Amino acid sequence: MSAPKAQLEKLPRSMQFMLLLGALALAAFPFIPLTGGDFYLQMLSQMMILAIFAMSLDLLQGVTGMVSLGHAAYFGLAGYALAFLTPADMPISLWWALPVSALGAGLAALVIGFFVVRTHGIYFIMVTMAFAQMVFFLFFDNKALGGSDGVYVNFKPDATLFGWAGIDLENKTTFYYLTLLLLVGVYAFLRRLLFSPFGRVLAGIRVNEHRMRAVGYGTFGYKLAAFTLAGTLAGVAGFLWAAQTGYVNPELMGFHMSAHAIMMIILGGMGNFAGAIVGAFAFEYVMHFFKDLPYVGDFHLGKHWQLWMGLFIVAVVLVAPRGLLGLGERLLARKGDVK
């Protein structure tokens, strides 16, 4: 019996180097002239936000082996938290609105997780989706919570720190760097977590939960902690999304949002967080590409982007079962570059 392919938990040197290059490119992007100004800056900010969201789900899906089809609920809840925390006439401080919104999403994940992490496999998928749908309709059907139209975030959060107003989030470039900083921070945190005693237990649960219990691990607590943490980090992403767009609606916690995150992780490669980032960027890029497809005669190719997207994902899964990162590793290995 051959061992299942490793999940690239330990990234090869060459891949680490490329990720570093990618991060530097992102850091340098606002200084590159003729890149289209705010439009691309905002688009990249959005991709980075989705990358944080995808990483948070990867902690469950790729590391612990719990595929949640309701992860957008925590993303959306934090966005709504910002919308409702922001007063009508003035901005709210970033320094407490962000932690409160993220922890609020985490609290919701803790409560929902208490019920859902007892289930396994297909049941876990169904129950997480059911809870997310409940949250969705709680907002969708409730005028006081904005209803189907959603809620505006009246002001961008105010990042004044100890009287220093140097960070202005109205400035697209500043917001871009805040997002980049959080992307790198969340990635570094999760990589560290992956090799901590906690992270090793989560990986053990993915591979063989039964055996974990037999050697003395109360797996329920670990899964609940992972679910809560994932919800909190999804909240960080949701907060940024709401702050960037200045608007939240129930679609943020909808089924599509949850499903997209799953596809991003599959596209990039599971269980190492780098794949989630690569997947989020690739997914968004390809989606925009398909949406921009032209008319062929009377037929608008771009309007049917979901069809092309579906075919694309199927193709990637067939060609690269371990995602783009796994494919990259294979190509690098062929060049004798690994180890």
Partner 1 sequence: MSAAVLSAQQLTKRFGGLAAVNEVSVDLFRDRIHAVIGPNGAGKSTLTNLLSGDLPPTSGRITIGGVETAGRPAEMVSRLGLGRSYQKTNIFLPFSVWDNVRLAAQSRERHQPFNPLHWFTRASGLAAANARCERAIELAGLQHRAHTIAGTISHGEQRQLEIAMTLATEPTVLLLDEPLAGMGQAEAETMVALLQKLKKDHAMMLVEHDMDAVFALADQLTVMVNGQVIASGTPAEVRADEGVQAAYLGEEH
Interaction site with partner 1 (CB under 8 A): 1-7, 189, 192-193, 195-201, 203-204, 207-208, 210-219, 221-222, 224-226, 228
CB of 300 to partner 1, least distance (A): 46
Q: Which C-beta is closer to partner 1: that of 50 or that of 203?
A: 203
CB 202 within 8 A of CB 270: no
Handedness of CA 265, 314, 116, 71 (dihedral sign): positive
Q: 180: helix, coil or strand?
A: helix
CB of residue 5 vs partner 1: minimum separation in angstroms?
A: 8
Tokens (6 digits) for 268: 């990039």
Give every CB contact of residue 211 below 8 A, 6+ residues apart in sequence.
204
Choice between 3 and 319, CB closer to partner 1: 3
Of residues 6 and 111, the one with the C-beta less far from partner 1: 6
Which pair of tokens denotes residue 241? 């999304």
Find the shortest distance in angstroms from Cβ 177 to partner 1: 25
Task: List the one residue out of 234, 237, 286 whose CA is nearest residue 48.
Answer: 237
- Residue nearer to partner 1 on the CB measure, 7 or 45: 7
CB nearer to partner 1: give 3 or 144: 3
**Of residues 12, 4, 1, 3, the one with CA closest to residue 272:** 12
Which lies closer to partner 1 via its Cβ, residue 224 or residue 277? 224
Q: What are phi and psi of 316, to 5 degrees?
A: -65, -45
Q: Taking the complex as a whole, how short is the minimal distance between the CB of residue 195 and partner 1, in angstroms? A: 6
In single-letter form, the type of residue at position 123 comes to Y
CA 23 to the chain's CA centroid: 17
Q: Which CB, 19 or 225, lies closer to partner 1?
A: 225
Q: How far apart are CA 65 and CA 31, in angstroms?
A: 40
Q: Which is nearer to partner 1, 207 or 311 (CB)?
A: 207
Taking the C-alpha atoms of residue 154 and residue 70, their distance in angstroms, rounded to an integer, is 28
Distance from CA of residue 281 to its chain's centroid? 11
* DSSP reduced 3-state for 75: helix
The least CB distance from residue 207 to partner 1, in Å, is 5
d(CA 89, CA 79): 19
Instruction: Give the C-alpha separation, 122 to 216, whole Å.
Output: 26
Give the shortest CB-6-to-partner 1 separation in angstroms: 6
Q: At closest approach, how far in Å is the CB of 199 from partner 1? A: 7
Query: How many Cα atoms within 13 Å fall on the side-chain side of residue 125?
Result: 7
Indicate the residue among 85 and 225 with the shorter CB distance to partner 1.
Answer: 225
Distances (CA, A) of 49 to 41, 43, 301: 12, 10, 28
The CB-of-202 to partner 1 minimum distance in angstroms stands at 9
* Least Cβ distance, residue 211 to partner 1 (angstroms): 5
